[in-house]
Amino acid sequence: MRQIITSLLDNDLYTFSVCYAYLQKFPRAMGQYTFVDRNNTVYPQGFAEKLREQFDLYGSIKITDEEVRFMKRKCYYFPLWFFTFLKGFHMRPSEVEVSQDEEGHLHITVTGLLWRTVFWEMPILATVSELMHELKGEFEHYDAEKEYKKSYDKGIRLIGNGVKFSDFGTRRRFSFEHQDLVIRSFIEAQKQFTKTCFVGTSNVLLAMKYDLTPIGTMSHQFIETCSLYGYNEANYLAMDYWQEVYAGSLGVFLYDTYTRKAFFQNFTTLHAKLFDGLRVDSGDNIEALEEIIAKYKELGIDPAQKSIIFSNGLNVDEAIAIHKAVAGRMQDSFGIGTHLTCDVDNVKAMNIVVKLTAAKITEKRTWKKVVKLSDDFGKYTGDPEEIEICKKTLEIS
């Protein structure tokens, strides 16, 4: 059987940054993650068993000396002891439960210490996606030359329009090989221009292969964990904790865990000055842009000195249009995912996520349900009753 994930670094950077933040701020906290298929896909019979075989293999993956050297060079914000920790780390397949119901729907849960279980999100999603595309026979019709040209042309368009962008496509990629191809195409496209616009990839392994910068900061789960102290101040606490851990590095905050409205109530002048900028991951992109610019001005800060990262299910046309709308008023860049790594002819990309749905501060506490709202109703995740509690608490209609 072919092993799909073969390196601990075949993961997004935020897995490592959130792991370190958990070690610092929530070392005994535990979490429960849930796989969600937004398309309610019916998987082939025996799919869960094939996943189980893959997950069991992942327990033997260990970080290599070469990988540690790369991370030490590129990820300067981690202390040396964290790399010693990573050298002794391995994933625990026993933390993952996977099954299929009679209708063929897939059920996956992960339970354990947060600093450990954070490593499962990307491997689960990338494995489900790649395995599904393989079993559907789509690998047999894959035309690498054609797909390379398509991707190269996207890079030419983005760079030609001055759009600063990175690959965010690990979680729903067609395959690891295709994501590799996409990155190679952008490196070649970049050579046609003097202005650097392709700035890297969220995938640490591919960043190492091509000596790129691993891109990313945090994920919603860290703010969800902070909600154990209450929804009203979750963003405030998360910003404080993040700055205490990273001291100015990795300074782009993911604000939409409980909607932009709730975040702005926690976004002080101090935080606005401490963080480099904000990431837009849901809602109307242009509306978010204008509200963020207005908020910075309200706080007496020049928006042009701040970063704004767009990562809300973008394609090339949308990224170009948003860049034109920004018009230099902020320092904009774009994290583009599925449109880069699963825009393959005659292939429908999956719509799957893994989200933190319960947590507790220590192993002795009782479980508390946690939720994510975002600025898109369709991206709400978690227990429906808890979602209503959160909305009522934050006065969100």
53-85 per-position pLDDT tens digit: 999 999 999 999 999 999 999 999 999 999 999
Average pLDDT over the chain reads 97
Task: Give SS3 for 251.
Answer: coil
Average pLDDT over residues 27-50: 97
State the pLDDT at residue 379: 81
The CA–CA distances, whole Å, from 376 to 36, 291, 393 equal 16, 16, 18
Question: Does residue 31 register a pLDDT over 90?
Answer: yes
Question: Does residue 366 register a pLDDT over 90?
Answer: yes
Average pLDDT over residues 207-214: 98
Which parts of 259-383 fold into alpha helices (H)? 259-266, 269-274, 285-298, 316-326, 338-341
Question: Does residue 111 register a pLDDT over 90?
Answer: yes
Rounded to an integer, what distance in angstroms lies between the CA atom of residue 320 and that of residue 359? Answer: 39
Average pLDDT over residues 309-313: 96
2: DSSP letter:
-
Rounded to an integer, what distance in angstroms lies between the CA atom of residue 260 and that of residue 240? Answer: 18
Average pLDDT over residues 343-370: 97
State the pLDDT at residue 361: 97
Q: Which of 172, 272, 266, 281 is nearest to 217 (CA)?
A: 281
Give the H or E element holding residue 235. Answer: helix 234-246
State the pLDDT at residue 115: 98
Residues 186/151, Cβ–Cβ less than 8 Å: yes
* pLDDT (tens digit per residue) in 228-245: 999 999 999 999 999 999
Question: Does residue 226 register a pLDDT over 80?
Answer: yes
Q: Which of 109, 178, 113 is nearest to 147 (CA)?
A: 178
Question: Does residue 377 register a pLDDT over 90?
Answer: no
State the pLDDT at residue 21: 98
What is the residue-wise DSSP string for 87-154?
HT----GGGEEEEE-TT--EEEEEEEEHHHHGGGHHHHHHHHHHHHHHHTTTTTT--HHHHHHHHHHH
Q: Which of 221, 40, 211 is nearest to 122 (CA)?
A: 221
What is the residue-wise DSSP string for 326-356?
HTTSSEEEEEE-HHHHS--TT-PPP-EEEEE
State the pLDDT at residue 397: 82
Residues 267/364, Cβ–Cβ less than 8 Å: no
pTM of the entire predicted model: 0.97
Q: Which two tokens stand for residue 133?
A: 């595309």
Question: Does residue 22 register a pLDDT over 80?
Answer: yes
Q: State phi, psi for 396 to the nearest 5 degrees.
A: -105, 125
> Which residues make Cβ contacts (< 8 Å) with residue 118, sequence separation at least 6?
15, 18, 19, 22, 31, 221
Type of residue found at 105: H
Rounded to an integer, what distance in angstroms lies between the CA atom of residue 181 and that of residue 136? Answer: 21
Neighbour order of strands in the sheet with 352-360: 96-100, 106-113, 30-37, 352-360, 368-369
State the pLDDT at residue 138: 97
Average pLDDT over residues 304-319: 97
State the pLDDT at residue 1: 73
The overall longest dimension of the chain from CA atoms, in Å, is: 59
Q: State phi, psi for 139 to the nearest 5 degrees.
A: -65, -35
The CA–CA distances, whole Å, from 131 to 137, 146, 181 equal 10, 22, 18
> Which residues make Cβ contacts (< 8 Å) with residue 287, sequence separation at least 6?
none
| Residue 378 confidence class, pLDDT cut points 50, 70, 90 | confident
Residues 297/321, Cβ–Cβ less than 8 Å: no
Rounded to an integer, what distance in angstroms lies between the CA atom of residue 378 and that of residue 344? Answer: 25
Q: State phi, psi for 372 to the nearest 5 degrees.
A: -130, 130
| Residue 126 confidence class, pLDDT cut points 50, 70, 90 | very high
What structural domains does the chain harbor?
A: 13-138+351-365 (3.20.140.10), 145-341 (3.20.140.10)
